[in-house]
Amino acid sequence: MVEPTPALLLAASVILLGAVVQGSVGFGVAMVAAPYMMWVLPETVPATLIILGGSMAVTTLVREWRHVDVHDLVVALLGRLPGIAVGTWLLLVAGTQALGVLVGGIVAVAAALQWWKITITRSTPNVAAAGFLSGIAATVSGVGGPPLAMVLAGEAGPRVRATLASFFALGAALSLASLTLTGQVTGTQVAYAAALFPAMLLGALLARPLARYMDSGRTRAAILLLAGISGVVLTTSSLLGA
């Protein structure tokens, strides 16, 4: 049982915002929440975010599963498998300070890539490479969306959201299995995921009516800027041992 502390209430607010973002554009819950969770509730990273991100993906699939690109999904998952192994190894050897640097760096880079709307040609090798990078990033920090999102950016919105959601849902299960086998999923992390699940679900429900605001440039830019700054601050403070 998780006590309803101010830190938990703030975490719920951050998760809700991230869920609205992910429900609108296909990913974002972990990118928005990871820096805060690493600062205030480091014991929850990464399993809590992986559980919530995977659960959020399922809510998207319920609506848009017909639009999944099966070929891209399979290729991305095949790429993700070795990425999960690398990410699991990094977590085994990284201390708290190094983990802060990894999480902060991943969030900052992910926000920058989305800010500049960088896209990569969609091809089988690129989808596999994106899956590999996503496997590393998602297993370490829960933030696995940007690599694959950049490759799929030229596709129709429903196809992007559905393919990303299926990749996140299945990928989260694979990452959690790897982390569980290496003793890196705790009861505390699962309890926090359960406590924050209602906030995630509310964000998922709000995503559709708020989508037109999320698609406006200012809101998207503000969220990316906030995530990027948070990632940089987390990286810097971790490097300084703060």
The predicted-structure confidence for 185-207, as pLDDT tens digits, reads as follows: 999 999 999 999 999 999 999 98
In angstroms, the CA 9 to CA 126 distance is 39
Give the residue from 54, 18, 60 showing the smallest Cα distance to 169: 54
Give the residue from 132, 181, 147, 144 showing the smallest Cα distance to 56: 144
Query: Residue 19 is encoded by which pair of tokens?
Result: 């869920």
Question: Is the pLDDT at 5 greater than 80, yes or no?
Answer: yes
Query: Residue 31 is encoded by which pair of tokens?
Result: 């990118």
Sign, Cα dihedral of 37, 144, 223, 219: negative
pLDDT above 90 coverage of the chain, percent: 59
The per-residue pLDDT for range 88-126, each reduced to its tens digit, is 999 999 887 888 898 899 989 988 988 888 778 899 999
In angstroms, the CA 88 to CA 70 distance is 26
**Residue in the structure block whose two tokens are 């999923």:** 185
**Which of the four pLDDT bands, split at 50, 70 and 90, describes residue 218?**
low
Query: Residue 143 is encoded by which pair of tokens?
Result: 């933030």
The per-residue pLDDT for range 66-93, each reduced to its tens digit, is 999 999 999 999 999 999 999 999 999 9
Read off the pTM. Answer: 0.90
